[in-house]
Chain A
Amino acid sequence: MNVSNGLRTALRLVRFDLVQALRNRGIVIWVMVFPILLSTVFMFMFDGYESGEAIAGVPVGLVEDDSSEARGLAEALEGVSRGEDALLDVTPYADEGEAALAADAGDICAYVVAQEGEDPRMVVPARSAGGTDQAIVQIVLDRYLQVSEAIEVVAEKEPSALASPGAVEELAVSLSGDDIVSEHISVLRTQSSEFSRYYYAMLGFSSLMGAQVALLLVISKRADGSPAGMRRQVSAAGPATQLASGLVTSWIVVFCCLVVSLVYIRMVAGVSLGGREGLAVAACAACALVSCAIGTFIGAIPRLSSETKDVICTVLTMGLSLPAGLFGTPSQRLCDWLSANFPLVQLANPAVQVGEAFYRLTFYDSLAPFAGSLATLVGISAALFAVAALFMRRQRYAYL
């Protein structure tokens, strides 16, 4: 009978907390609407933009003086700029000044100067030196020079190989040939995309924003949080029961919101989860747990106003999402750099671990890395709950 009453009381508390959380417009917008809105923005932004392997039509300028040396190079460049999938798109220029203007204006990625008595030169614009397109042009030019160099090396080391008529031409043709075959092997469970990272980082951001639910409920139950919290502390239901109810409620709210976001990005945005949708829901459960832990931790910090705690929660959310790669290419590069050089920093970042969990689930055959991410999230949650409990124990006697 007592157990039944206790359960009924707990369910009633959870119901009240649910109403309290869902009546808060800010929370509804942040945790429910925001991920869907941002996913929609991502979906439209990245639609039709896939970074394929094929490189074609690299724009390059050519300045030549019609000498035989220049013609040889010009023909080599024209050779790779013919056809539908031509590697280069060569534009001739009358002089270097004109080509330099075009390069600085971004019309061409580089220009090549081929003149009698000079080795060919490649010139790139000063403001954007060092791109992939320029490297492609460099490879073509290097290869042209290396064919001549290889023939000279053979002539020096094994002259007999070039003694027969037509041997030099035969070697040149073979050196410039395209006999080598390399095949692309697919090692991932599903095709990876640089844009998947945005969706996974967004889930990490949403998980952290969900901490506001736990923060709201914890503050509303703390004696130092609000007048309602003071009254609640002396009510029939004990503080521990009320806190547990708040945590269960916040977990339910965040979990449901994350699942809705997940369904949206899977079904509407078409982001792959590698056919492991069920496990992805389990990941949402762990993400919701860490979200509750962060909210509880911030809510338990003593001697801070509710407004300051809100600010801390937002700062943490934004600050931890930055190295998770949500804010564009620079932050993704920062994320990669931190992962390579300071893996422990990334390991302790819940936003990163949420993204990692979905990444590992989607792309890896083994579930061990995914389990590792979930264990990390549970570990972070346990640590934050433990510290929050310490804060609350200390406060209890000081404030009541």
Chain B
Amino acid sequence: MHIFKLAGRVALRHRGLLALYVLMMAAFGFLMASYVGDDTSSYQETRPTVAVIDRDGSELSGALADFVLGAGTPVELPDTAYALQDAAAKDLATYVLVIPEGYGDALVRAAREGDAMPILERSVSFQGAQGSLMDEHVRAFAQRLFALLECTDAAPSEVVSWAAEAQSARVEVGVTESPTTGIPLGYLVFMQFSTYALFGGTAVLIACGMRSLASDQPVHARLRAAGIPEASREAQQALACLGIGAAVWAAMGVLGVLWCSGSLGGSDPMLIALAQVPLLALACVGAAYGYLLWGLGAKGDAVHAAGNMGSMVLTFLGGTWVSQASMGAAVTAVARLTPIWWVIHALSEVYAATEATGELVASVAAQTGLVLLFAAAIAVAGAAIARARARA
């Protein structure tokens, strides 16, 4: 096992690469996990960012403005074209209500004299669904003002007060009593982020780290002359790649558990352990890819480019950055042909579960098996190329 130890030691001595692809990626994952936060078992109403431009200034428009600002998270917005564009383009305010001049009087006339209904204006950012939600809120409240004006002789100030009073009637919201011992959302995000390092990081670490042992290097010639059977040497090199993959996986696992330990407190340890299985399989795929790059004799920038680009493309397709549910059928069909898709899918199943049932374990095992098939296919190609180049 001399070559196995040598290769592993040489590769893991590249501290810069370890810091970049393990520590930094784990830190990114932790940052995102901290930012996303964890599941709450209590219901919190969706409150989109809102702003109101009240060009009317009447009691009725004031009531509408107060209602909107109370129903969402208010944002200050001046009445300028630039501010409106800024809010819509960058989603600074998901919903902006513009109350035109004369709206209050026109609403009273529409209710009591049958005049045309005045029109409210809204600007919605690209978060269209939340904008629609807010618009439903606003129109419901404005409809109440209109109905009270239409069916009573009360002054607008009284109507405003009655409408606000009626607003206090709200449905009681509870949550299901399911046991919430599953893995927390923050830890799921960390594991999703770790797929980048497990695939690309492992590959770069192997291809760059073991570069000095490549077939075009003097060390390789000395090793060939050392009397170790070729099959043994190749097997030890391949095992070293697997060992490096396992080391990266273990490092990411330990860092993840340590950094997310606060939120993992109530989680089922079986589920946490189960989630590591597809990740280990992905580290094997990364190791196989690194072995392939190493066998091809790639070096320096080319390895970084191939590792990072491969990782970036596969993580996007796999659903690390964008939810798998939002992908179209054609993209999903292609994505299923990539290993990270199956890893993310397996992680999602573990996240959705509250206990490690036999069905869940079987499903995760099947998906891990698929991922390992990718690893085997790439490793075989890598071995063939490495052998051909060594003999050339």
For chain B, residues 119 to 178, give those with C-beta under 8 angstroms from any C-beta of chain A.
119-133, 135-140, 142-144, 146-148, 150-154, 158, 162-163, 165-178
Nearest residue, chain A, Cβ from B154: A158
Q: Quick check: is B352 within 8 A (CB to CB) of the other chain?
A: yes
Q: Quick check: is A187 within 8 A (CB to CB) of the other chain?
A: yes
Q: Quick check: is A130 within 8 A (CB to CB) of the other chain?
A: yes
B122:A139 contact, CB within 8 angstroms:
no
A55:B132 contact, CB within 8 angstroms:
yes
At the interface, is chain A mostly helix, strand, loop or mixed? helix
A130:B44 contact, CB within 8 angstroms:
yes
Nearest residue, chain B, Cβ from A87: B136
In the bound complex, residues from chain A placing their C-beta under 8 Å from that of B163 are 150
Nearest residue, chain A, Cβ from B167: A146
Closest chain B CB from A201 CB (angstroms): 11
Nearest residue, chain A, Cβ from B322: A328
Nearest residue, chain B, Cβ from A24: B301
Interface stretch, picked from A232-240, A315-323, A382-390, is: A315-323
B152:A104 contact, CB within 8 angstroms:
no
Q: Quick check: is B313 within 8 A (CB to CB) of the other chain?
A: yes
B126:A194 contact, CB within 8 angstroms:
yes
A122:B171 contact, CB within 8 angstroms:
yes
Q: Quick check: is A183 within 8 A (CB to CB) of the other chain?
A: yes
User: Interface size bucket, B side?
Assistant: 35 or more
Q: Known: A145-B169, A328-B322. Contact between A187 and B88, CB under 8 A? A: yes
B85:A100 contact, CB within 8 angstroms:
no
A55 to B303, CA, bound (A): 46
Closest chain B CB from A100 CB (angstroms): 5
Closest chain B CB from A157 CB (angstroms): 6
A360 to B85, CA, bound (A): 9
For chain B, residues 312 to 348, give those with C-beta under 8 angstroms from any C-beta of chain A.
312-313, 316-317, 320-323, 326-328, 330-331, 334
Contact of B146 among A29, A47, A179, A192 (CB under 8 A): A179
For chain B, residues 97 to 124, give those with C-beta under 8 angstroms from any C-beta of chain A.
97-98, 110, 117-124
A119 to B148, CA, bound (A): 24
Q: Known: A150-B144, A174-B146, A315-B20. Contact between A328 and B320, CB under 8 A? A: yes
Q: Known: A120-B171, A157-B158. Contact between A29 and B305, CB under 8 A? A: yes
A23 to B153, CA, bound (A): 84
In the bound complex, residues from chain A placing their C-beta under 8 Å from that of B320 are 328
B301:A27 contact, CB within 8 angstroms:
yes
A153:B166 contact, CB within 8 angstroms:
yes
A193 to B125, CA, bound (A): 8
Q: Quick check: is B228 within 8 A (CB to CB) of the other chain?
A: no
A47:B166 contact, CB within 8 angstroms:
no
Closest chain A CB from B24 CB (angstroms): 6
- Report how many residues on chain A are interfacial, defined by Cβ distance under 8 Å: 107
A50 to B206, CA, bound (A): 40
Contact of A330 among B32, B150, B167 (CB under 8 A): B32
Closest chain A CB from B122 CB (angstroms): 5
- Most chain B CB inside 10 Å of its own CB: which residue of A135, A161, A314, A363: A135
A44:B35 contact, CB within 8 angstroms:
no
At the interface, is chain B mostly helix, strand, loop or mixed? helix
A318 to B28, CA, bound (A): 9
Contact of B175 among A120, A126, A138 (CB under 8 A): A126
Q: Quick check: is A4 within 8 A (CB to CB) of the other chain?
A: no
In the bound complex, residues from chain B placing their C-beta under 8 Å from that of A27 are 301
Contact of B89 among A47, A154, A319, A363 (CB under 8 A): A363
In the bound complex, residues from chain B placing their C-beta under 8 Å from that of A148 are 169
B173:A124 contact, CB within 8 angstroms:
yes
A308 to B302, CA, bound (A): 16
| Top 6 closest pairs, chain A to chain B, by CB | A26-B301, A328-B321, A149-B169, A174-B147, A150-B166, A53-B128
> Which positions in A face B, CB cutoff 8 Å?
24-27, 29-30, 33-34, 37-38, 41-42, 44-45, 47-49, 51-55, 100, 103-104, 106, 119-132, 134-136, 138-139, 141-143, 145-146, 148-150, 153-154, 157-158, 161, 167, 170-171, 174-175, 177-189, 192-194, 212, 307-308, 310-311, 314-315, 318-319, 322, 327-331, 333-334, 336-337, 339-340, 359-360, 363-366, 369
| Extra contacts besides A26-B303, A135-B46, A212-B301 (16): CB < 8 Å | A34-B312, A51-B127, A100-B178, A106-B352, A123-B175, A129-B40, A136-B133, A146-B166, A157-B158, A161-B152, A175-B143, A187-B88, A188-B89, A314-B20, A327-B32, A328-B321
> Which positions in B face A, CB cutoff 8 Å?
16-17, 19-20, 24, 28, 31-32, 35-36, 39-46, 81-82, 84-86, 88-92, 97-98, 110, 117-133, 135-140, 142-144, 146-148, 150-154, 158, 162-163, 165-178, 180, 182, 189, 193, 300-306, 308-309, 312-313, 316-317, 320-323, 326-328, 330-331, 334, 352
A-B contact pairs, 23 of them (CB 8 A): A29-B309, A30-B304, A41-B316, A45-B328, A52-B128, A53-B129, A53-B131, A54-B132, A119-B172, A126-B176, A128-B39, A138-B45, A142-B140, A150-B166, A153-B162, A153-B165, A154-B151, A178-B139, A186-B123, A188-B89, A308-B16, A327-B28, A359-B90
